[in-house]
Structure 1
Amino acid sequence: MRASSEPKFGLSLEIEPMEARSAEGLPEGPGWQFEPKWDGFRCLVFKEGSAADLRAKSGKPLGRYFPEVLEFFSKLPAERFVVDGELVIDIDGKLAFDALQMRLHPAESRVRKLSAQTPAKLVVFDMLMAHDGVPILDQDLEFRRAALEAFAKDAVNPGRLILSPFTRDRVEATRWLSASGADTDGVVCKRVDGPYLPGERAMVKVKRLRTVDCVVGGFRYERNSDLVGSLLLGLYNDQGELDHVGFTSTITDAERPELTAKLEALRGGAGFTGKAPGGPSRWSTSRSSDWEPLKLELVVEVRFDHVTGHRFRHGTKLLRWRPDKRPTQCKIKQVDQ
């Protein structure tokens, strides 16, 4: 139970942020607001007097990992509000998700050092309680956006808080999706007439997806099976070494027997000559953590959504085999561009 000396915020700290369901394309028709999908940590900020609290999508507190953001909100003149946004860190003008992950460190001294070296900021895009202390979840997005803009007019600070842009023009939102070198993950679509629905997938997210040609440097078997489960993907670095960059497991059951035979015929090659796949994780069985290095002959085109530290953040989708392409043509510069 929370101690009585702790502040009581106008909305429960357990409230869940509104979420989004995935879609292949932007929704048609009128009544939609489009916003950039930011590449960071989702965060609800609660303020009551001089006390502030940062909460992750999971409900866990984030304040100890981002003390500079917590201090900024604690000192804002507005006495009472709840806003929804995304914690981001930019380094040399580019968002750096790996810098966010480094903050989740048990040592307070390490966190303090990083907060000074690579300070975070919050991109705000919705408001659950206006700065007069009145909850506005039941109000439509148009009302909430107006309240957010009124709040941000005095609170915006380029180093700590920025207001996310939006458009209601589907053509412009389409340009956001296709923009090369963009820093965001895609586009989030919200109903202009919709209320804020905590925990519900009431929004639509469309990710910016790109493709890349990768070398198959190895594979793993399916758990408790003699058939292939995933392909391990590699790209050549600037030193000419093949680095492991991720995996793809989008293989149909019908394809597995023939593909397994094809891969097993290539076993015993060099595999990854640079960064290799890691060892077992706590989620792996002894079989699924083992991997088979291959002769470097196969190239596949895969679709991915985001790269962090020259690694695909998530699994990729296998699109097609590329027998027309030499493995040595598959360079890391493909994902840097």
Structure 2
Amino acid sequence: MLPPVLPMLAKAVSGVPDPAKYDAQGLSFEPKWDGFRCIVFRDGDEVELASRNTKPLTRYFPELVAAMRAELPERCVLDGEIFVAQAGADGKGRLQFEVLQERIHPAASRINLLAEQTPADFVAFDLLALGDESYVDRPFAERRAALEEALGHLGAATGGRCHLTRTSTDPAVAEEWFHQFEGAGLDGVVAKPLSAPYAPNARTMLKIKHERTADVVLAGFREHKTSTPENPLIGSLLLGLYDGGELQHIGVSASFTAQRRAELWHELQSLVVPIEEHPWGRWQEFLVANPGRQPGTQSRWSQGKDLSFTPLRPDRVIEVKYDAMEGRRFRHTAHFKRWRDDRDPESCGYDQLEQPVRYDLADVLGG
């Protein structure tokens, strides 16, 4: 088996599912890791890391390549996740996706420095090939058993960078993991039918992710890439929350139909204000990213993209659906639910956001 190989995907479901409804043999539950999906190809000293969209990741993680040569079977193809974990002030380890993103850098010197300062780990959760045998067509129950036999030593490896994810066939355990492991930065729970083969690029797995709502202030918008003067369209809405009297950028909301994009553009024109009159106007002079990652500022990740936005008078409140926080921002794009014209914008602060119970990543890996 050689790259490229597209990974098996998951479709979202609401709540931990009843195994009997999806597979006669049941479901295998496991934590949903929040990192870079990665297919690992190892053949002796030759190691290749491929992303979800088959792009190469190998050069960015030299410490992982070395670890895989030392810790993984001589010849194997594994599906898993690359992550970076760091201890917080409480001493508990937690996944740090923003730190992981910084590992993708064009300069070799920077890559080598970050490999020492913020080393990554790899957690395996599926087996595609081992030695001369392909496991793609085998049911997950067989793939998992072979994976445990091949990687079962990793849990006891002192200082190792490769791990084997824990699993359970008990929905009650999955429910506990869903609530507990978020405190370590994990993204939810994944369920795999025990009788299903590995299906590249097919949504045969199930994912259960955290879902919450928040009332946020509408602070601006960016136009859609297909927007024209004759047919102006909204691309995304810029959202904020108040903290200490200042409006902080918390994320964006997008994913509208073409008709709704046009309606929103016309609906919001009465709120447009000059940037000098906007709470984020002071950031317009910056050419690099600022600590609050305010809209319109550049970073090495933006690569010269047009990050300008249309500022809006922060008079309106939106209820959005989001899954998790990354620092002081939404981890992913939030989903628009409804207008909240009954809410005062200044009353929309960070105190409304649910904070997960802290949980140590070492306890997740320790199982």
TM-score range relative to shorter protein: 0.7 to 0.9
* Alignment correspondent of 2:174: 173
For 1:57 and 1:263, locate their aligned partners in 2 and report how far apart those are by CA, in whole Å.
37
Choose from 77, 83, 91 the match for 1:82. Answer: 77
User: CA 1:68 to 1:283, structure 2 compared with 1: closer, same or farther past 3 Å?
Assistant: closer
- More off after superposition, 115-124 vs 202-211: 202-211
Displacement of 1:256 in angstroms is 6.8
- Structure 2 SS opposite 1:112: helix
Is 1:18 paired with 2:8?
yes
Normalized against structure 2, the TM-score is what?
0.77
Residue 264 of structure 1 pairs with residue 259 of structure 2: no
RMSD: 3.0
Distance 1:254 1:173, change over 3 A: same
Alpha-carbon distance, 1:260 to partner? 5.3
Residue 364 (structure 2) aligns with: none
Q: For 1:38-88, what per-residue CA distance to the aligned partner results, in whole angstroms no more than 9, with x for missing partners?
A: 100111222222332222222222221111110011123732222211000
SS of the residue corresponding to residue 314 of structure 1 reads coil
The CA distance in 2 between the partners of 1:77 and 1:29, in whole Å, is 31
User: In structure 2, do the counterparts of structure 1 residues 34 and 76 end up closer, same or farther at CA, with 3 Å as the change threshold?
Assistant: closer
Q: How does 1:223-238 map to 2 (within 5 A)?
A: 223-224=227-228, 225-226=231-232, 228-237=234-243
Say whether residues 1:194 and 2:196 are aligned partners.
yes
Residue 95 of structure 1 and its aligned partner are, at CA, apart by 0.6
Output one character per residue of 1:2-31: Cα deviation in whole Å (capped at 9) or x when no partner: xxxxxxxxx212222222233344443421
Q: Which residue of 2 aligns with 1:296?
A: 314
For 1:12 and 1:245, how far apart are their aligned partners in 2? 41
Deviates more, 1:137-146 or 1:219-228: 219-228
Deviations 1:107-129, CA, capped at 9 Å, x for gaps: 11111111111111111111112
SS for the counterpart of 1:64 is helix
Tell me the SS of whatever aligns to 2:68. helix
CA apart distance, 1:216: 0.9
Q: Does structure 2 retain, via aligned residues, the 8 Å contact 1:152–1:163? A: yes
Tell me, in whole angstroms, the C-alpha distance in 1 between the residues paired with 2:153 and 2:179: 33
How far is 1:328 from its partner?
2.6
1:309 CA drift (Å): 4.7
CA distance in 1, matches of 2:56, 2:262: 47
Distance 1:54 1:142 in 2: 25
Q: 1:331 to 1:127 in 2, by over 3 A?
A: same
Decide whether aligned partners of structure 1 residues 152 and 236 sit closer, same or farther in structure 2, where only a CA change above 3 A counts. same
Please state if 1:331 is matched with 2:349. yes
What is the TM-score normalised by the length of structure 1? 0.83
For 1:186 and 1:104, the matched residues in 2 are separated by: 25
**Cα distance, 1:256–1:143 mapped onto 2, change above 3 Å:** closer
Partner of 2:86: 91
* Structure number with higher helix proportion: 2
Change beyond 3 A, Cα 1:326–1:46:
same
- In structure 1, distance between residues paired with 2:316 and 2:55: 44
**1:230-262 CA deviation, whole Å, 9 max, x = no partner?**
42101234x542222222235567777876565
Deviation at 1:36, TM superposition (A): 1.4
8 Å contact 2:71–2:162 — kept in the other structure? Answer: no
Q: Is the 8 A contact 1:128 1:136 kept in 2?
A: yes
Tell me the number of residue pairs that the alignment of Structure 1 and Structure 2 aligns.
322
Say yes or no: does 1:59 pair with 2:54: yes
| Residue deviations 1:150-202 (CA, integer Å, cap 9, x gap) | 12222344540222122222233234334563521122221101111223222
Cα gap change, 1:136 to 1:251, in 2 (>3 Å) = closer
Comparing 117-126 with 255-264, greater Cα deviation is found at 255-264
